[in-house]
A and B are shown apart, each in its own frame.
Chain A
Amino acid sequence: MLELALKGSKRYYAWISFLVVLIAIGSTAWIDQLMNGLQITGMSRDVSWGFYISQFTYLVGLAASGVMIVLPNYFHSYKTNKHMVIFGEFMAIAACIMCLFFIVVDIGQPQRMMNMIFHPTPNSILFWDMIVLNGYLFLNLLVGWTCLQADRVRLPHPKWLKPFIYTSVIWAFSIHTVTAFLYQGLPGRHYWLTAILAARFLASAFCSGPAILLLVMMVTEKFTTFKMPKNALKTLVKIIAYAMCINMFFFALEIFTSFYSNIPGHMHPILYLFEHASSGLVTLMWTFIAFAAISITLLVTPKFRNNLKLLPWTLVILVIATWIDKGLGLLIGGFNPTPFETITPYWPTGKELMVSMMIYATGALVVTVLFKIATDVKEEMGHSQVLPCGCSTEDHCDCAPAEEAE
């Protein structure tokens, strides 16, 4: 099926070349890092993890989120989602690849990476994180690819795949839980030392992940004949709305616990993020609150939620809000205050951002190629194709005859 990725329009090739250029530019910074060490980053003795690890954390959410399409389909036989499942799985593959890549660029001795396997250490959460991430990548590759191949030759999905699919659904929860445990079990890091962190991670994953997926799908619709079934879209938006509300509720729980208990260690990181940090970071954190409020308002009001013109903007706002919270604030808040109750500011350097850009571009490349294959197969099969009226072939559409009548 890979050959489908090779035949494409000029625009497709232009996009691919653009991504390759971005990767090439970013890799110069990575080569610099390989030659000179992590000193090119803004990390320090006190803030020993930075942008790389926080991007990894955010993307694990994207990987886990595919389950929000897969689960209704397989556990509740919600067949409206059927033709979206493959995109959730392919998105998860790209996200896992980016996650693993971010870990590789973050470690100081990447050539010794295999030490994790040669000396397996079950008491380290990082060991389990490696297992669950690689496992999830494998499961999605297996399930996604096999299903698509079966679709292409018009065969039912093979029976032996079922256990793998059910495993992958449960596995999706594990990858985010284990990643939360990475932070959650550390003594002396007050912002992370909270039992609700794993739940917060899942909630934020299940709103930001599908939101990113929907945005990518909207772009896909623009350039292919694929069209999301209306009902599948609506269900997904509702899931996003619920997850975002729960996400912010959990955040409010943290605030209450910290400030009503009045324990300094628990208040410091929050006060730092929202009050004492550099003005740029404080502005960002308040942007997070404002954007979260706006996106929730837009999502819970049916009038705004069902407005397809407004929806992309709502999703963008939501993604920005969750990214500031989890892709930036979580990490900085955890390391500041330091073990000495002092503050060592952290901000990513340009080179750090370039390396990150390289990884994001790689992810985009993987998504493009996989989505290209998936949409081509769907087109061959006539699944979820766009009708002249703008509906999908999966919808019970009555606008087409009306148009003909005109």
Chain B
Amino acid sequence: MKNNRRTFIKLAAVAAAGLAVAPKAAVASSGGHSPAKVNAKAEHAKQWAMVVDTTKLHSAEEINKLAEICHKTHNVPHIEGKKEVKWLWHDTYAHTFPEQENPHLAEEVHHRDYMLLCNHCENPSCVRVCPTKATFKRADGIVAMDYHRCIGCRYCMAACPYGSRSFNWGEPRHGLDLSKLNPEFPTRMRGVVEKCNFCVERLAEGKDPACVEASEGALAFGDLYDPESPVRKVLRERFTIRRKPSVGTEPCVYYII
């Protein structure tokens, strides 16, 4: 009984947090014409992008650690099996770059694990197909989702060439430890799609995405169109590749090999 009440109060707190976040999201998506004030410290960019240094970050444990931080921050449910929900995860070279396989690849490169997440493509096919604009591209290039708009048709999942999206087949809150919820971020309901959001809620407060902050320099983050941004600096100096460049979505996550 007591336990139930505690859970209820927590859920209520989460719901309230959700309500508090919603208006902010609305401001962000309306292109800034709203009279509501934007955080003065908020970071701005034309197109956010990330560089993953796989020479520094390539073990499953390290990537899992980042995934855990990401999933905790965003209340991503833990579900076993092929109906899993994930925003950040890892996979092998062959699965990450299937078109750039090479039988005589340096063994060390082949044995690395690669961090995967939504690429926040410049030309995202998921946005193109969504029939309700629940998936949309923000002015700062982030491909964001309105979980309250999504009808769960999963067209975006079929369209994403990178497998970056998850669907809540069942009640996601059953996959959460309710005592460890992050009250700053809403939970989702069943029947909607979700994915990495480049931590828009942190950028709005002038902070880097949670995974970047925790990566100890292995992840660079910044504006792709600002020559002085950390991302551009790395791209200038190091050789990088992207996943499936052939499909023309212009992914904004780059990998140093």
**Chain A residues near B (Cβ < 8 Å):** 36-39, 41, 43-46, 48-49, 103, 106-110, 112-113, 115-116, 119, 121, 123-127, 130, 182, 185-189, 265, 334-335, 338-342, 344
Contact = CB atoms under 8 A, between A and B. Distances in A.
Given A45-B166, A126-B153, 5 more contacts: A107-B191, A121-B131, A124-B130, A189-B158, A189-B161
Do most interface residues of chain B lie in helix, strand or loop, or is the interface mixed? loop
A113 B151 contact: yes
A344 B151 contact: no
A334 B160 CA distance: 13
Interface residues of B, number: 48
B244 interface: yes
A112 B190 CA distance: 13
A36 B169 CA distance: 9
Given A44-B83, A124-B129, A340-B98, A188 B154 contact: no
A248 B182 CA distance: 56
Contacts of B44: none
B159 A186 contact: yes
Contact of A108 (B82, B132, B149, B152): B152
B190 A37 contact: yes
A180 to B, nearest CB: 14
A335 B160 CA distance: 12
B38 interface: no
A383 B252 CA distance: 67
A185 B125 CA distance: 9
B226 interface: no
A119 B83 CA distance: 29
Nearest to A344: B82
Interface of B: 81-85, 91, 94-96, 98-99, 125, 128-134, 149-155, 157-163, 166-171, 189-193, 244, 247-249
A189 B129 CA distance: 14
Contacts of A49: 154, 158
Contacts of B162: 188, 339
B170 A39 contact: yes
12 contacts: A37-B169, A108-B167, A108-B192, A110-B151, A112-B132, A112-B150, A115-B131, A121-B131, A124-B129, A186-B129, A265-B99, A341-B94
B95 A37 contact: no
A109 B158 contact: no
Contacts of B129: 123-126, 185-186
A186 B158 contact: yes
A126 B85 CA distance: 24
A103 B247 CA distance: 28
Contacts of B171: 36-37
Nearest to B147: A109
Given A43-B169, A121-B132, A48 B249 contact: no
Contacts of B96: 340
Given A39-B169, A108-B192, A187-B247, A119 B153 contact: no
B191 A108 contact: yes
A117 to B, nearest CB: 10
Q: Count chain A CB atoms within 10 A of each CB in B81, B91, B155 and give the residue with the most.
A: B155
A124 B150 CA distance: 14
Q: Count chain A CB atoms within 10 A of each CB in B84, B161, B167, B170 and give the residue with the most.
A: B167
A334 B98 CA distance: 17
Sorted from nearest, which 4 A-B pairs have the closest CB atoms?
Answer: A108-B152, A188-B161, A108-B191, A44-B82
